[in-house]
Structure 1
C-alpha cells in the first residue's frame, strides 16, 4: 500500500467535502483584502457571492471528492 496515494485520497475527500459544505466561506477567504468594485452600501455589510460562483466551488469540491475516491481505490488495490 502506498501511503502517499492514501494521503492524497484523504486530503482530496476532505478538501472536497469542505468545498461542498461551505462554498461561501471559501469564496470569502479567497477574496479577503480585495477592494470591492462598488463602494456603496452600509458599513460592514457584505455582498453575498453569486449563485454561479457558489455552484462552481461546489462542482470543484465534487471533482475533488471523486478524485480522492479514485486515489483511495488505487491505494488499496481495487482499481
Structure 2
C-alpha cells in the first residue's frame, strides 16, 4: 500500500503545477489581489500581467509537475 501522504503530495503537486502552467496570469492576479497598483497611468479596464511574472509562474509550475511526478513514482513505484 502506498503512503497516503506521499500520494497526496503527488496529487497536490501535479494539480498546482497544471494550474500554474495553464493560467499563469490568474495565479499572479490572485497573489497580488488587494494590493494597490503602483501607477495609475494605464487605460481603463486593462489588467496586464508582465511577461516576466508569467514566465516565473510557469517555471514554478514545471517544478511542481516534476516534483508531483517524482512523489507519484516513489509512492507507486
Normalised by the length of structure 2, the TM-score is 0.91
Structure 2 residue ranges without an equivalent (≥5):
none
Task: Measure how far apart 1:40 and its partner are.
Answer: 2.1
- CA RMSD between the two structures: 1.1
Aligned equivalents of 1:49, 1:60: Cα separation in 2: 16
* CA deviation map 1:35-79 (0-9, x unaligned): 111122344x23311111101000000100000000001101x2x
Structure 1 residue ranges without an equivalent (≥5):
none
Normalised by the length of structure 1, the TM-score is 0.89
Paired residues, number = 76
SS at 2:57 equivalent? helix
Query: 2:75 matched to which residue of 1?
Result: 75
